[in-house]
Structure 1
Amino acid sequence: MAAPEEHDSPTEASQPMVEEEETKTFKDLGVTDVLCEACDQLGWTKPTKIQIEAIPLALQGRDIIGLAETGSGKTGAFALPILNALLETPQRLFALVLTPTRELAFQISEQFEALGSSIGVQSAVIVGGIDSMSQSLALAKKPHVIIATPGRLIDHLENTKGFNLRALKYLVMDEADRILNMDFETEVDKILKVIPRDRKTFLFSATMTKKVQKLQRAALKNPVKCAVSSKYQTVEKLQQYYIFIPSKFKDTYLVYILNELAGNSFMIFCSTCNNTQRTALLLRNLGFTAIPLHGQMSQSKRLGSLNKFKAKARSILLATDVASRGLDIPHVDVVVNFDIPTHSKDYIHRVGRTARAGRSGKAITFVTQYDVELFQRIEYLIGKKLPVFPTQDDEVMMLTERVAEAQRFARMELREHGEKKKRSREDAGDNDDTEGAIGVRNKVAGGKMKKRKGR
């Protein structure tokens, strides 16, 4: 990491519990009136635990390490102090927020724009998968806040004329543990070298790993630690279950659960992009409104999927772990771990999609004969034995025929899709992505191929 400055180990924010009872409003935390109104309009009636701990300290100008899980309101915990400071000393290129994924970047930008709309805050999202040129133009306008993934930001720092962060006042690293797990260490290092040492830094992370501690020593000055999650904890209002099933019946049990709990919104986690796509096709063939979200989809498709789900136009979102952290999807009632997570910590993040902000929710984990050890690790990590989700096996078995037929269709569609991708690549360069409609094949065959023959 960048050369450490004279850093002490973080002091704990020891705030008396009584204060939490009394401090009910953002105004009490020291947030300025304009921003308090913006919070009201967003429906933020009272600050969350992490906000109560972090905001007053941030307003005093301290560096902060926030240990908080997703859904705890940490975006507000760093956005409000930054906007508060921006109002006092308006300046372009004022703050930089680094995030591990594109989706999270867009989400943070939405919150900045919503909170800062009345004061004319401009933000730019600088992430991969989107045209560099338009981003360079956005940077040339010198926005107040940049929200970026490390790789693409470095790209612009090196190649976009006239763009630098020498005047930066605030640096935020959100989900720092994930930024480092995704091997962005060298990029973060480079960024730390080209921004002023005289700045405020907020580091937020769900877990305190060795890498995060190393980053903290390199990037923060005498930070205060605000921890609101105990070591590995799942929310109290979350009902967690498991189902032990032979792996060949996973699809059938999934359909049974979706029928049993119909009327809820679901987030179903699969381990691979391919399985996400296959399961989405399978469920669509059975008449469920399911949409996939995974790393092989183009950026616009991912955001499209996410927005349909957010707008409740679809009730089932299938996702890989790429999508599992940091996404603020407000209304997931049930999380299904269709494929058990290989890292027990991912379980915490997956089930963190439901029972957010005080609402209750269910999480159901499928455990096959191959997953027993992984499941035991999860139980050990969260420190509780999970109960079995009650199922009527005879009713499940009645579904096998319909499911088998849908599986066959899904396989055919995937195969057709694979061939179509090959053809369209040969034909038009690879501009395809994985949620294209089946039947594009005909367009390819009827369109560009014929033109070529006619030349």
Structure 2
Amino acid sequence: MEEEVDSVTFKDLGIIEELCLACKQLGWKAPTAIQKEAIPIALKGKDIIGLAETGSGKTGAFGLPVLQALIERPQRLFALVLTPTRELAFQIKEQFDALGKAIGVACVVIVGGMDMNQQAMDLGKRPHIIVATPGRLVDHLEKTKGFTLKALKYLVMDEADRILNMDFEVEVDKILKVIPRDRCTMLFSATMTSKVNKLQRAHLKDPVKVEVSSKYQTVSKLKQHMIFIPCKHKHIYLVYILNEIGNQSVIIFCGTQQSTLKTALMLRNLGFTAIPLYGKMTQNKRLGALNKFKMKERSILLATDVASRGLDIPCVDYVINFDVPMHSKDYIHRVGRTARAGRAGQAITFVSQYEVEVYQRIEQLLGVTLDVYPTVKEEALVLEERVEEASRFAKMEMARLEEKSGKKGKRKRGNDEDDTEESFGVRKRIGKKKFKKKGGRNTK
């Protein structure tokens, strides 16, 4: 949740006592700006288009009104929340579980990468709330006997712009055709795209537009910097900065899955507690990586843009854009992983000679020129030999993992432990020299 609005309480917005107590237990002291604007309208049963920057508390803005309406009119299969990513779906379920614990709300997650039969059994129990990705929900609507959403009262689309930009339009149309027209619909998004505008014109009834940020922006407590460096020195400067900032929580965004895994392997070889998160991992492994980072068992999370939207990890100190995002709006979502819930945070973007034009579009979108992050070139280049050695190790490990993956496809695996974890923890690392800088991160 983002910066709090002074003197206004959830009770002032019309939230009932049970839910106000749940908010207090979650540490929500006061409504955020989007909650202050959206909740009173949603409690009246009106359709909403909510536009707010990432980290602004959108989940509470739709979750509280849905739960309050459910308390007033108890019904199974009451609400459906559509999200673009699996991780965001599980996070939203956690919020519903926490807010609705005292009133016995049943909420299930329906996403890809999980067992269809188990999900069908969960749906057969007729939960109050379903949180789903569009593709897997359509699979169940078409294949799971007896499952229907004909009595649905609420539809919520969180990160609506990304749902539509991820080619889910066909699935969304199928879902809209089988749910009642007489329902309350809420679209929440950080940006208003032409696709979202088209959707609201076709499927919402006199929606109220709630907007708490009129331009693309980042939160005020976020310090943003850039570094212009040769592409071949990116890994060197990454290690240099990680050593400089010490043992703090960092998310590093890479442009591809291959880059994510290679960089994670390289950092672990140097002794950093890093773990990767990318799309081709099974859902259990993705959740495992995320939980290890949340529980601070790993201090560095390397991710593709699968982690740039919606994930609420409150204590992220730094976001590093190892690769400049190709879409300028994705920059907003990436850096929104830090400086959440009123905390401060820092974002550093690496810009190589091949990324200048893309980076300039980001500055144009923000309307600001980012300051240069202070570095000492001579100190960074001292690390070149060690980093190159670790990079060679990472390439060999990737080749080994690929070969193992090919063999494993011919037989059933006995456990769900991540191969990358095995390569990090079991195989002998190159070099035994401690890699430490005064005041920095001790990497054994």
- The TM tier, using the shorter chain, reads over 0.9
Asked if residue 43 in structure 1 is aligned to residue 31 in structure 2, the reply is no
Cα separation, 1, equivalents of 2:252 and 2:409: 30
Q: How much has 1:375 moved relative to structure 2?
A: 1.1
Q: Indicate conservation of the 8 Å contact 1:23/1:52, yes or no.
A: no
Residue equivalent to 1:79: 63
Structure 1 position 389 matched with structure 2 position 373: yes
Q: SS in structure 1 opposite 2:420?
A: coil
Going from structure 1 to structure 2, the CA distance change for 1:96 and 1:363 (only over 3 Å counts) comes to same
Amino acid at match of 1:270: C
1:61 to 45, 51, 63: 45
| Residue of structure 2 aligned with 1:246, choices 225, 230, 236 | 230
Q: What residue in structure 1 maps to residue 310 of structure 2? A: 326
- State the match for 1:380 in structure 2: 364
Q: Say if 1:34 and 1:428 are closer, same or farther in 2 by CA, change over 3 A.
A: closer
99, 119, 123: which one aligns with 2:107: 123
Contact 1:174 1:204 in 2 (8 A): yes
Q: Is the 8 A contact 1:23 1:29 kept in 2?
A: no
Change (3 A) 1:91 1:258: same
Q: Are 1:237 and 2:216 matched, yes or no?
A: no
Q: CA deviation at 1:23?
A: 4.9
Contact 2:363 2:369 (C-alpha < 8 Å) held by counterparts: yes
Is this contact kept in 2: 1:168–1:196, CA < 8 A? Answer: yes
Matched, 1:310 2:294: yes
- Please state how far the C-alpha of 1:441 moved relative to its aligned partner: 12
Q: Which letter does structure 1 place at the counterpart of 2:291?
A: N
- 1:375-398 deviation line (CA, Å, top 9, x unaligned): 111111100011110001111011
- Give CA deviations for 1:204-225 in whole Å, capped at 9, x if unaligned: 0111111000110122100101
Pair 1:153–1:312, CA change in 2 (3 A): same
Give CA-to-partner distance per residue, 1:318-339, whole Å, 9 cap, x none.
0001121111111111100001
SS in 2 for 1:208: coil
Superposed displacement of residue 186, structure 1: 1.1
Q: Distance in 1 between matches of 2:199 and 2:18?
A: 34
Q: Is the 8 A contact 1:69 1:206 kept in 2?
A: yes
Aligned counterparts, 1:9-408, within 5 A? 23-408=7-392
Q: Deviations over 1:291-326 (max 9, x none)?
A: 100001110010001001111111100000112111
Describe the SS at the equivalent of 2:11. Answer: helix
Give the drift of 1:400.
Answer: 0.9
Q: Deviations over 1:396-423 (max 9, x none)?
A: 0111111111111111111111111122
2:265 alignment partner AA = L
CA gap of 1:86–1:427, structure 2 versus 1, over 3 A, is closer
Distance 1:29 1:39 in 2: 13
CA distance in 1, matches of 2:236, 2:141: 51
Over the residues paired in the alignment, what is the CA RMSD in angstroms? Answer: 1.8
- 2:436 is matched with none
Cα distance, 1:345 vs structure 2 = 0.9
Alignment length (residue pairs): 423
Deviations 1:127-169 (A, max 9, x none): 1100000000000100000001111111111111111011110
1:427: how far off? 4.1
In structure 2, the partner of 1:9 is none
Q: Give a deviation string over 1:26-83, Cα, whole Å, max 9, x none.
A: 0000000000000000000101000000000100111100001221000000000010
Q: Tell me the amino acid that sits aligned with residue 37 of structure 2.
A: E
Q: Given the two structures, how large is their TM-score scaled by the length of structure 1?
A: 0.90
- Identify if the C-alpha distance between structure 1 residues 429 and 118 changes in structure 2 by more than 3 Å, giving closer, same or farther: closer
Q: Following TM superposition, by how much is the alpha carbon of 1:436 offset from its aligned partner in structure 2, in angstroms?
A: 5.4
Give the structure 2 partner of residue 453 of structure 1.
Answer: none
1:218 to 1:429, Cα distance in 2 relative to 1, 3 A: farther
Q: Is residue 265–residue 424 contact of structure 2 (8 Å, CA) maintained in 1? A: no
The letter of the residue matching 1:156 is H
The answer on 1:438 being equivalent to 2:406 is no
**1:230 Cα deviation from its structure 2 partner:** 2.4
- Identical pairs, percent: 69
Structure 2 equivalent of residue 448 of structure 1 = none
Q: Distance in 1 between matches of 2:43 and 2:383?
A: 58
Alpha-carbon distance, 1:438 to partner: 3.2
